[in-house]
């Protein structure tokens, strides 16, 4: 073999390896951008600034590349996709129940469409779980948040008519979305995941910590007290997990402190709820949420076992939601509680499936504290998500960033447990 041929042959493996690395980088970037789209950014905020109540119809076109990417990765790794789905039977059971509810839904067409979107949303979450181990999963999610953080800062600063609220909460930042609470809730997750990314990828620590500071600034600019609490809760859980990994004595101290915090918190909420809502700047109705819950209670009692069909309760103008809207005197579009939303859509069976799935995932998340890669962020995200299920309808929602990430975390923990 000549020297020329030898050099060519030696260079070929390097070129192949380089091509694989480039392809992996492109896939990571594509996955992060797809995750950005699941928050449905910008177009709803743009529509609101123009006086419209819904995003323009063409906004859904931007999901087509996401679904195409999802189809490609499933086709490429169909066996792995199936194995991942089998690892989370309760999640798949919830999806199946949502689809079956088309049979008794009060708006079967709406339920069918949203069930398909829900399946695609959960499929992307499963893809994140099977494709990426914890360090890379954290950085992919953090990369998506960098885009959302930068976009919200730019829109809020340069286009305040779009990025800030003008009617309901004048001056509060809403960023790439229609409401300050949406911005605050998403940025609360961004604070924790960017801090976690700085731990698992120390060579880019300054980038991730800068993004975390930007996310926290947006939490403050949103004026959302719930988001501020979620941010602090997530950081506290991450700090506690880091301390617990230092040794058995620290683990005991952290466990005792956590138990004491739960007991004290439950006692205060039970005995002095007015003190709690005064601290967070709310009233005892939690900004009207309890009024919605009270008005929707008779509807739950009327269809206790199977509900009105997945996401169907709020769709017909002359349906049972009419009486809820009459009672609260505004055009409420969700239950503002994942548990109540589940009861309205899929009854007690849906609530039971979700409760079992959430408990199993929280248990696995607590067990992941000992892991250096998942032990910081996974428990922090799950704590924030569990808190948000009480006041927001994020669980089992199609095209929802919270639910997409939850599916990814739940499936990744399940795969770890199987391994």
Same-domain pairing of 120 and 158: no
Give a yes or no: residue 232 inside a domain.
Answer: no
Residues 186, 41 within the same domain: yes
CB-hemisphere CA count at 13 Å for 48? 21
pLDDT the model gives residue 25: 85
Q: Among residues 176, 200, 223, which one ends one of the domains?
A: 223
Q: What SS3 state is found at 165? A: coil
Mark whether 212 and 91 lie in a shared domain. no
Residues 119 and 138 in one domain: no
3 located within any domain: yes
The answer to whether residue 237 is domain-embedded is no
Is the same domain home to 290 and 217? no
**How does pLDDT run across 293-302, given as a tens digit for each residue?**
999 999 999 9
**Structure confidence at residue 279 as a pLDDT band (50, 70, 90):** low
- Asked if residue 385 and residue 296 are part of one domain, the reply reads yes
Nearest CA among 353, 354, 361 for reference residue 414: 361
pLDDT > 50? residue 246: yes
User: Is pLDDT larger for residue 53 or for residue 210?
Assistant: 210
- 52, burial (CB in 10 Å: exposed 0-12, middle 13-18, buried 19+): exposed
Question: Residue 88: inside a domain, yes or no?
Answer: yes
Are 161 and 292 part of one and the same domain? Answer: no
Mean pLDDT of all residues belonging to the chain: 85
Does pLDDT of 177 surpass 50?
yes
pLDDT for 195: 95
- Classify residue 244: in a domain, yes or no: no
Alpha-carbon radius of gyration of the chain: 23
Q: Are residues 37 and 178 in the same domain?
A: yes
Q: pLDDT value at position 259?
A: 57
What's the whole-number mean pLDDT along residues 60-78? 93
Check whether residue 46 and residue 89 sit in a common domain: no
Average pLDDT over residues 163-173: 85
* Residue 45 clears pLDDT 90, i.e. is over it: no
Q: Return the exposure string of 394-407: e unless at least 16 CB atoms fall within 10 Å of the residue's CB, then b.
A: bbbbbbbbbbbbbb
pLDDT over 90 (residue 250): no
The first and second tokens of residue 242, run together, are 């880091």
Residues 43 and 165 in one domain: yes
Query: Which residues partner with 164 through β-bridges?
Result: 173
Asked whether residue 259 is domain-assigned, the answer is no
Alpha-carbon distance of 184 to 267, in angstroms, equals 27
Tell me which range, 45-54, 202-211, 385-394, is most confidently predicted by mean pLDDT.
202-211
Residue 398 inside a domain? The answer is yes
Could you tell me the two tokens for 136? Answer: 């890379």
251 phi and psi, to 5 degrees?
-65, -45
Q: Give the residue-averaged pLDDT of 44-55.
A: 71
| Residues of the chain above pLDDT 90, percent | 61
Q: What confidence tier does 289 reach under pLDDT thresholds 50, 70, 90?
A: confident
Residue 275 lies inside a defined structural domain of this protein: no
Give residue 179's pLDDT.
Answer: 87
Tally the domains of the chain.
Answer: 2
Q: How many residues does the chain have?
A: 419
Domain-ending residue, one of 169, 193, 223: 223
170, 193, 223 - which closes a domain: 223
Check pLDDT > 90 for residue 257.
no
Q: How confident is the model at residue 265 (pLDDT cuts 50, 70, 90)?
A: low
Residue 17 has pLDDT above 50, yes or no: no
Q: Where are the beta strands (DSSP E) in 220-367?
A: none
Are 25 and 153 found together in one domain?
A: yes
Residue 187, pLDDT score: 97
pLDDT at 1: 45
Domain co-membership, 113 together with 146: no
Between 84-93, 108-117, 276-285, 352-361, the lowest mean confidence (pLDDT) is in 276-285
Mean pLDDT of 218-236: 93
Which pLDDT score, from 0 to 100, does residue 211 have? 97
Confidence label for 56 from pLDDT (cuts 50, 70 and 90): confident
Q: CA 200, 204, 209 angle in degrees (round to 5)?
A: 85
pTM: 0.90
What is the rounded CA–CA span in Å between residue 332 and residue 314?
A: 8
pLDDT tens by residue, 103-150: 999 999 999 999 999 999 999 999 999 999 999 999 999 999 999 999
pLDDT confidence of 168, banded at 50, 70, 90? Answer: confident
Domain that holds residue 209: 1-50+132-223
| Rounded average pLDDT over 59-86 | 93
Annotate 98-152 with DSSP letters as a single string. Answer: HHHGGGT-TTHHHHHHHHHHHHHHHHHHHHHHHH--HHHHHHHHHHHHHHHHHHH
């Amino acid at each position: 073999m000549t020297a020329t041929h030898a050099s060519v042959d030696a260079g070929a493996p390097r070129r192949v390896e380089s091509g694989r690395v480039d392809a992996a980088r492109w896939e990571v970037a594509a996955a992060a951008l797809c995750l950005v789209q699941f928050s449905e950014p910008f177009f709803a905020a743009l529509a609101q600034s123009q006086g419209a109540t819904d995003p323009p119809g063409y906004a859904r076109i931007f999901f087509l590349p996401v679904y195409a990417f999802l189809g490609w990765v499933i086709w490429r790794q169909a066996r792995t996709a199936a194995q991942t789905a089998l690892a989370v039977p309760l999640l798949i059971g919830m999806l199946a129940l949502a689809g079956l509810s088309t049979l008794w839904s009060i708006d079967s067409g709406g339920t069918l469409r949203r069930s398909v979107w829900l399946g695609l949303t959960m499929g992307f979450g499963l893809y994140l779980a099977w494709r990426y181990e914890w360090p890379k999963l954290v950085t992919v999610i953090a990369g998506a948040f960098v885009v959302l953080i930068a976009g919200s800062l730019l829109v809020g600063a340069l286009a305040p008519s779009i990025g800030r609220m003008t009617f309901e909460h004048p001056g509060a930042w809403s960023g790439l979305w229609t409401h300050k609470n949406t911005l605050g809730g998403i940025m609360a997750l961004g604070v924790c995941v960017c801090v976690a990314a700085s731990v698992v990828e120390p060579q880019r620590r300054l980038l991730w910590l800068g993004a975390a500071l930007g996310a926290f600034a947006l939490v403050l600019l949103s004026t959302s007290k719930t988001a501020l609490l979620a941010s602090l809760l997530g950081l506290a859980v991450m700090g506690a997990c880091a301390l617990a990994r230092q040794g058995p004595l620290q683990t005991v101290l952290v466990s005792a402190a956590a138990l004491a915090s739960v007991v004290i918190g439950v006692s205060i909420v039970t005995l002095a709820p007015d003190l709690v809502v005064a601290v967070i700047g709310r009233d005892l109705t939690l900004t009207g949420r309890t009024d919605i819950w009270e008005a929707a209670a008779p509807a739950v009692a009327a269809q206790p076992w199977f509900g009105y069909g997945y996401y169907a309760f709020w769709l017909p103008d002359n349906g049972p939601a009419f009486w809820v809207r009459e009672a609260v005197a505004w055009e409420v579009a969700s239950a503002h509680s994942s548990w109540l939303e589940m009861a309205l859509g899929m009854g007690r069976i849906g609530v039971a499936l979700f409760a079992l799935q959430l408990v199993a995932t929280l248990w696995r998340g607590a067990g992941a504290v000992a892991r250096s890669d998942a032990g910081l962020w996974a428990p922090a995200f799950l704590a924030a998500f569990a808190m948000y299920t009480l006041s927001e309808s994020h669980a089992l929602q199609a095209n929802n960033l919270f639910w997409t990430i939850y599916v990814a975390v739940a499936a990744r923990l399940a795969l770890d447990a199987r391994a």
